[in-house]
Amino acid sequence: LVKTGKKNNYKVFENSIQEQEERKFLIQNSIESSLSNGDFFLVYQPRIDVKTGITSTFEPLLRWRHPSLGLICPDEFIPLAEETGDIVLIGEWVLNESLQTLKHLHLIGNTDIRVSVNVSVKQLYQSTIDQSIKTMLQRYKLPPQALELELTESILISDEQRILDILKNLKSLGVQLSIDDFGTGNSSITYLKKLNMDVIKIDRSFVTGVPKAKENAAITSAMINLIHDLGMKVVCEGIETEEELQYIIDKGSDEIQGFYVSYPLVKKDLFQYLQREAINGPKIQYQSKN
Ligand code: C2E
Ligand code: MG
Ligand code: MG
Ligand code: MG
């Protein structure tokens, strides 16, 4: 607590910490009931293949319509769910829901589309994750290649052998692995290659403002080259402007994602988006200079 000198200010600050604790308590104690009451839902963000200009993959992003707190974002509740262990239940729900949506799309003829699901560290270290993914893929009769798992650099906190074993088990299922928010942690690209990653998603903080933001432009361009030289695929996330898009396409990013192409969409709107795309053709038609 910080003493401000004024008695009132002191009290306000004290209350707000208490309020934060209450909010945390409320959130952590309503996850399970919200899961069974259907208060969680997914929005889906299209990811575009630069070569074809159309959606290759979609990323489910979790939302929670809390009964008393209203809409809560994953950056707030995922860490809290990791603390309680509820992330495992949430993660299973997300995977099941995502694969169901993917199956639905395959059934209506969109058979090339894939899904890329965020997996948190705690969820990854849960010993049965590979078995549960295998079971779900079989349930929906989906090819494992159609599923990508997005991990963050924070997976590297555990001992090396443990993480290698877990990733090997997942790879042997046939699923793809990607590193999300690349550049915000402190792993090296060469190490990620050793970990058998297929895709590196460059964090949006490096893409912001390119090419005018000169440092970002240099970093992004160098990252793309190195990732390619190591044989992995590059996705740039958080593209918001035409300038950013043009730059990272010129630099050879394989795929792109961001508000410039599409905001995350509720399921109905994703289907409509894909339907329009199939009729109207690619939304993006930039020729790379390379
Ligand atoms: P992420 O996986 O890196 O997801 C991208 C985030 O950036 C999403 O925020 C998305 O709405 C936002 N975004 C996409 N394009 C743009 C853009 O052009 N500009 C800006 N400013 N933002 C953009 P969201 O949905 O709030 O998700 C935040 C994070 O929460 C995700 O980051 C992911 O780490 C985590 N998360 C979301 N859903 C799940 C989930 O189902 N499971 C787990 N474990 N984590 C999840
Ligand atoms: Mg992600
Ligand atoms: Mg990301
Ligand atoms: Mg993120």
Give yes or no for residue 78 CB within 6 A of ligand 1.
yes
Give yes or no for residue 173 CB within 6 A of ligand 1.
no
- Name the pLDDT band for 33 (thresholds 50, 70, 90): very high
Using a CB cutoff of 5 Å, list residues around ligand 4, an ion. Answer: 181
How far is 262 from 282, CA to CA, in rounded Å?
A: 13
The bound ligand whose nearest atom lies closest to the alpha carbon of 182 is 3
Single pTM value for the model: 0.93
Amino acid of residue 88: V
Q: Distance of CA 89 to CAs 34, 118, 127, 142, 206, Å?
A: 11, 14, 14, 22, 33
Q: What are phi and psi of 216, to 5 degrees?
A: -60, -40
- Name the pLDDT band for 162 (thresholds 50, 70, 90): confident
Q: pLDDT tens across 195-228, in order? A: 889 999 999 999 999 999 999 999 999 999 999 9
Give yes or no for residue 46 CB within 6 A of ligand 1.
no
Give yes or no for residue 62 CB within 6 A of ligand 1.
yes
Q: Burial of 71 by CB count in 10 Å (0-12 exposed, 13-18 middle, 19+ buried)?
A: exposed
ipTM passes above 0.95: yes
How far is 74 from 5, CA to CA, in rounded Å?
A: 37
**Per-residue model confidence (pLDDT) at position 12:** 55
Give yes or no for residue 240 CB within 6 A of ligand 1.
yes
How far is 144 from 134, CA to CA, in rounded Å?
A: 8
Q: Would strands 255-256 and 114-118 be described as parallel, antiparallel, or unpaired?
A: unpaired
How far is 241 from 239, CA to CA, in rounded Å?
A: 6
User: Does residue 279 register a pLDDT over 80?
Assistant: yes
Rounded to the nearest whole angstrom, what is the distance from the C-alpha of residue 152 to the centroid of ligand 4?
9
Q: In this structure, which residue's CA is closest to atom 17 in ligand 1?
A: 238
CA 205 to chain centre: 15
User: Does residue 138 register a pLDDT over 60?
Assistant: yes
Give yes or no for residue 92 CB within 6 A of ligand 1.
no
